């Protein structure tokens, strides 16, 4: 079930990086907190190649709306526990939000495999992840964006969620573990 939808007039708010952009995964990892939530196939690939399996990886088998190459797919095909969710493009589903909360509560790395699109998962990940964590996502043609989970970044993420169309209260309740 879709809880939130990105309105067309808000698409621009998601174009600007929410944190510093890195092109070197090892440098990013040196600055990252714990746990690490990776949103995107290429980001997850680069973190794994650099020797760090994200605690939570949200992937959909695509990059820039095209299937990832064999090399990336092979690295992403690991032994981690998988949660399968449906999440339509430009939306956040109940299943996606629940999977984020469930994966963050796990002691072992979890891959959330999305049928649809995972692009908006960064925002609820910032709300659900504990302070001190890091959320990493891809900035097309630029690199990887590192967002530290702080009271400020969490407040900004909650504000962005509130600007999406749909049931913000239900979404925040699900992310706070109340739903």
Enclosing domain of residue 115: 2-8+34-166
Question: Is 136 within 8 Å of 144 (Cβ atoms)?
Answer: yes
165 is in an annotated binding site: no
* Helix pair angle (151-163, 168-175), 10° resolution: 150
70 is in an annotated binding site: no
Residue 1 has pLDDT above 90, yes or no: no
Q: Within a domain: residue 42?
A: yes
The pLDDT confidence band at residue 177, using thresholds 50, 70 and 90, is low
Q: Within a domain: residue 150?
A: yes
Residue 179 has pLDDT above 50, yes or no: no
3-class DSSP state of 73: helix
Q: Within a domain: residue 157?
A: yes
Q: Within a domain: residue 16?
A: no
Residue 81 has pLDDT above 80, yes or no: yes
Q: Within a domain: residue 14?
A: no
Beta strands in the chain (DSSP E): 2-5, 21-22, 36-39, 56-59, 62-63, 66-67, 81-87, 91-93, 110-116, 134-139, 143-148, 165-166
Q: Within a domain: residue 177?
A: no
Q: Domain tally for the chain? A: 1
110 is in an annotated binding site: no
Q: For the segment 59-80, what is each residue's pLDDT rounded down to a tens digit?
A: 988 877 777 778 888 888 777 8
71 is in an annotated binding site: no
141 is in an annotated binding site: yes
DSSP class of 55: S
pTM here is 0.93
Strands 36-39 and 134-139, sheet pairing: parallel
Q: Which two tokens stand for residue 10?
A: 């808000």
15 is in an annotated binding site: no
The pLDDT confidence band at residue 119, using thresholds 50, 70 and 90, is confident
Give per-residue burial for 101-129: e unless 16+ CB within 10 Å, then b.
Answer: bebbeeeebbbbbbebbbbbbbbbbbbbb
Q: Within a domain: residue 174?
A: no
Residue 83 has pLDDT above 90, yes or no: yes
43 is in an annotated binding site: yes
Q: Within a domain: residue 25?
A: no
């Amino acid at each position: 079930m879709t809880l939130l939808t990105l309105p067309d007039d808000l698409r621009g708010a998601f174009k600007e990086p929410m944190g510093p952009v890195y092109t070197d995964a090892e440098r990013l990892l040196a600055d990252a907190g714990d746990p690490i939530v990776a949103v995107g196939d290429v980001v997850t690939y680069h973190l794994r190649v650099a020797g760090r399996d994200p605690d939570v990886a949200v992937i959909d088998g695509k990059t820039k709306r095209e299937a990832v190459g064999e090399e990336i797919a092979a690295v992403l095909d690991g032994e981690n526990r998988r949660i399968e969710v449906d999440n339509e493009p430009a939306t956040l589903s109940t299943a996606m939000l629940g999977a984020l909360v469930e994966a963050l509560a796990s002691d072992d790395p979890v891959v959330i495999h999305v049928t649809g699109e995972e692009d908006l998962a960064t925002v609820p990940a910032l709300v659900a992840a504990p302070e001190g964590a890091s959320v990493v996502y891809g900035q097309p043609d630029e690199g990887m964006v590192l967002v530290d989970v702080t009271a400020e970044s969490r407040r900004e993420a909650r504000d962005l969620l509130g600007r999406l169309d749909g049931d913000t209260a239900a979404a925040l309740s699900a992310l706070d573990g109340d739903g």
